[in-house]
Chains A and B, each alone.
Chain A
């Protein structure tokens, strides 16, 4: 995505630096639009899959299996967003994005996929629905923003629906991890015990408990950060509306 290097002269470096400061170039923008459109479509597929499965089954139990593959594909695909930040085409913090994406990928693979017994839990549906609605709005928000045609409805939805969706997702995630605990303890999943030649041990059961505990300080911080963002973004948005 970066322009080819033109040697190491100071002026070339300054040009690159100023290009970076202006934001993504035309090529990067085109790529990001495609990326966000594909992701929006992907999560729509998951949404439709959930609705269709619900209608055909007549109940909301065990819907995970009907969207397992696209969920894994599109949620894992979000790892690219870390790369976007690292390369500089998206002006977000690598650490923050990395953390958010990794926590989703962790839930998807290291908990739901790895512990088959939790896949039929209702808590899985809770977080899958929360993620699906959130991601459809989020990716369409990015798409429209990149094209400079952001409908107020999308902006409003992105900065309002989280009020319900975020606690809903967190509840689903925590309940799912909690449901996985007995199976992890029984089978010793992903755990290493002493003695071994690397003198190392890891107890996945304890690790999962620590993960659950970490939600206590982290969730309020992230939630109130979104609240503050909401005040900032919607306040300026309303002024724009009024002037129209």
Chain B
């Protein structure tokens, strides 16, 4: 078996960073990253981007050396992706914050509202309901992060955690402040409005969860395979017939429900901003589905049936 030689150059400066000889032609890029890490311990594999071309796309960890368009002396380029943090860590932190912060406002912990309201509870039952819904939502997200989601990438850039936490923690504190405020005004249409809102919220929570399960089942454990998601026996997944990312559709629906339930403008803002972000993500996902799969169903829109 002929061994390969691999030299790794810096993509920016073209400096020779590492030379590996006697490399098994069946080695994967992942294994080469591990070897590179040994000579440069500060660049752990998760922060390495290895490509064939200095300005090209990153190679996947599963790519095999001899299947790449390289000679027996392969030249690869390295780019530092920067400090990385695992998706699981980011999700747990960004969801844990809202859960705890909201509860602090709900229990009217000191220094938030006027001292005379410390540790009091609201007299409006919709405020208690809203707390249960908000907390349920984030507990669900935390559990899904731990037990349901199968992530394609292990890590993301470290600065994302600051950006994401500012967003989630900031908005949840802002919403919680008003909903749990002593001067909170309950919804204009009273019981009916809250009941309708609750139905929408719960429906969309179940829907969102159903989609997460369906997506998980698309991908066997440890696999990073990409397949077209289709409706399953669960009626909540039938939304796949009309949209590429029904998980986002249901998520927007949940927050619309929560807005209706609390009749709170900051919640409406949060719903709007979230919708815009998810729409951008859905459009991107939809486009990559179309690019990757020639038989992708034409009826589907990215996030809103027939609309967006």
Contacts and interface: CB of A to CB of B under 8 A. Distances in A.
Contacts of B183: 194-195
SS class, residues of chain B in contact with chain A = loop
Interface in A65-113: none
A105 B292 CA distance: 46
Contacts of A201: 178
Contact of A197 (B181, B185, B266): B185
B238 interface: no
B264 interface: yes
Nearest to A193: B183
Of A198, A199, A200, A201, the most chain B CB neighbours within 10 A belong to A199
A197 B187 CA distance: 7
A9 interface: no
A199 B179 contact: yes
Interface residues of B, number: 12
A196 interface: yes
Of B179, B263, B265, the most chain A CB neighbours within 10 A belong to B265
Contacts, number: 29
Contacts of B171: none
Interface in B158-197: 178-179, 181, 183-185, 188
Nearest to A198: B265
SS class, residues of chain A in contact with chain B = loop
Nearest to A201: B178
B90 to A, nearest CB: 25
A193 to B, nearest CB: 9
A195 B264 contact: no
A43 B183 CA distance: 49
A196 B266 contact: no
Interface in B251-300: 262-266
Contacts of B266: 199-200
B275 to A, nearest CB: 19
B264 A198 contact: yes
A195 B122 CA distance: 14
Contacts of A194: 178, 181, 183-184
A199 B188 contact: no
Nearest to B179: A199
Nearest to B264: A199
12 contacts: A194-B178, A194-B181, A195-B183, A195-B185, A198-B264, A199-B178, A199-B184, A199-B263, A199-B264, A199-B265, A200-B178, A200-B265
